[in-house]
């Protein structure tokens, strides 16, 4: 019995990252957001997707996305692409029972719409999933500012060889999950509200912060950064 557990633990904790998760060096999805974060029955929300790739972090335009829901949910959830981008319309109150039945969710649990987003970045096909809860309307959190050593500026500037602190001001509450990403320097504690930038060598790029709240709400901010 023991050898199975030890092997299990080694597999779990012994996997080293080759590319660090804070790096913005290759094509991948960073976050998906619906606006508002949770939808009231019958309410419509828009879908936005933040990606990174060779051109750095950016929000994908609507014509570069495809948003779908599983076929069994099509009678209850409408997903369309219009001039304002991709829109998802939550089921009405009368349709919620059908949605729950299709998802296998009991009546006591909140229903959520699983969205599948596909896009292509740098020739790489990417797939992302986002669950949007159907309940009372709730907004996404907001980011008031991103600071480098306490200084908020349109461009974050650090001296080469310094290790300034990154911080974010948001309204996502104490349960918020903060993720930092950067194409300059190296980041430490990038999974916490306050990260540290190791600005070893001169570089230009961007720093991204993503804040997630407990209701599925998402906010992000892309800030140009320079190490001089």
Partner 1 sequence: MTLFVAETGQAVVTDAAGAFTLPAGSGGITVVVVGAGYLDRTIELDARDAGPLRIALEAQAVDAAEVIVVEGERVRPAPGAAQLARDEITRVPGARGDLLSSVKNLPGVANNGSLTPFSAGLIIRGASPEDSRILVDGFEVPILYHFLGVQSVLPSEMIDSLEFVPGGFDVAIGGASAGIVDVRSRHGARAWGGLAEVSFVNGSGLIEGPLGERGSFALAARRSLIDAILPAVIPADADVAFTAYPRYYDYQGQAEYHVDDRLTLAGFVFGSNDGFDVISSAANSGDPAAAGGAANDTSFTRAIASATWATPRSRVRLAASGYTDTNHFRVGRDRYLLLDRDGAAARLELERQLARRVVVTGGAEVDATRNQYDIRFTRPPREGDPTPPSFTYDALLAMVGSSTNRDVGAWAAATVRPGPAEVTAGVRLDGDLRGDHWTAQPRARGKLRLDDATTLQASTGLYARPARLLDENLQPDLVPERALNSSLGIERRLADQLTLQTTGFYNRLSRLTVLAGDRRDPMSEAGYRNVGTGTGFGLEALVTYKSPRAFAWLAYTYAHATRVDGPGAPTRRFDYDQSHNLIAVGSWRLGAWQLGARFQLTTGKPYTPVQGAEFMSDVDGYQPVYGAVNSQRVATQHQLDLRVDRRWRFRDWSLALYLDVANAYLNAAVVDYSCNFDYSQRQAVTTLPILPSLGVRGEL
Q: What residue ranges bind partner 1 (CB under 8 A)?
A: 1-21, 26, 28-29, 31-33, 104, 126-131, 177, 179, 189-191, 210, 212, 216, 218
Contacts of 98 (CB under 8 A, 6+ apart): 75, 76, 91
Shortest separation between residue 70's beta carbon and partner 1, angstroms: 14
Locate tokens 């929300």: which residue?
Answer: 45
The angle at the Cα of 193, spanning 191 to 9, to the nearest 5 degrees, equals 25
Judged by beta carbon, residue 194 or residue 228, the one nearer partner 1 is 194
Shortest separation between residue 52's beta carbon and partner 1, angstroms: 11
Contact 128, 117 (CB under 8 A): yes
Judged by beta carbon, residue 8 or residue 153, the one nearer partner 1 is 8
* Distance in angstroms (rounded) separating the CA atoms of residues 196 and 186: 8
CA-closest candidate to residue 168, choices 189, 139, 138, 198: 189
Locate tokens 């933040």: which residue?
Answer: 50
Judged by beta carbon, residue 152 or residue 176, the one nearer partner 1 is 176
Shortest separation between residue 89's beta carbon and partner 1, angstroms: 20
Shortest separation between residue 197's beta carbon and partner 1, angstroms: 15
Shortest separation between residue 192's beta carbon and partner 1, angstroms: 9
Where do runs of H (alpha helix) occur along 90-219? Answer: 96-103
Judged by beta carbon, residue 94 or residue 124, the one nearer partner 1 is 124
Judged by beta carbon, residue 17 or residue 150, the one nearer partner 1 is 17
């Amino acid at each position: 019995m023991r050898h199975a557990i030890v092997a299990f633990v080694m597999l779990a904790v012994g996997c080293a990252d080759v590319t660090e998760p804070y790096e913005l060096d290759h094509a991948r999805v960073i976050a998906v957001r619906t606006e508002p974060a949770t939808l009231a029955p019958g309410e419509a929300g828009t879908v936005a997707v933040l990606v990174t790739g060779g051109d750095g972090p950016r929000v994908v335009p609507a014509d570069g996305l495809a948003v779908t829901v599983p076929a069994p949910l099509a009678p209850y959830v409408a997903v369309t692409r219009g001039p304002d981008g991709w829109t998802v319309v939550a089921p009405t109150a009368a349709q919620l029972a059908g949605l729950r039945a299709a998802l296998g969710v009991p009546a006591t649990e909140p229903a959520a719409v699983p969205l599948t987003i596909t896009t292509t970045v740098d020739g790489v096909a990417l797939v992302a999933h986002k669950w949007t809860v159907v309940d009372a309307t709730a907004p996404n959190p907001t980011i008031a500012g991103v600071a480098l050593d306490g200084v908020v500026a349109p461009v974050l500037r650090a001296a080469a060889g310094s290790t300034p602190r990154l911080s974010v001001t948001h309204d996502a509450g104490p349960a918020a999950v903060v993720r930092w990403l950067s194409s300059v320097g190296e980041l430490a504690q990038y999974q916490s509200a306050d990260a540290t930038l190791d600005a070893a060598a001169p570089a230009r790029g961007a720093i991204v912060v993503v804040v997630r709240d407990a209701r599925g709400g998402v906010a992000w901010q892309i800030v140009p950064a320079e190490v001089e």
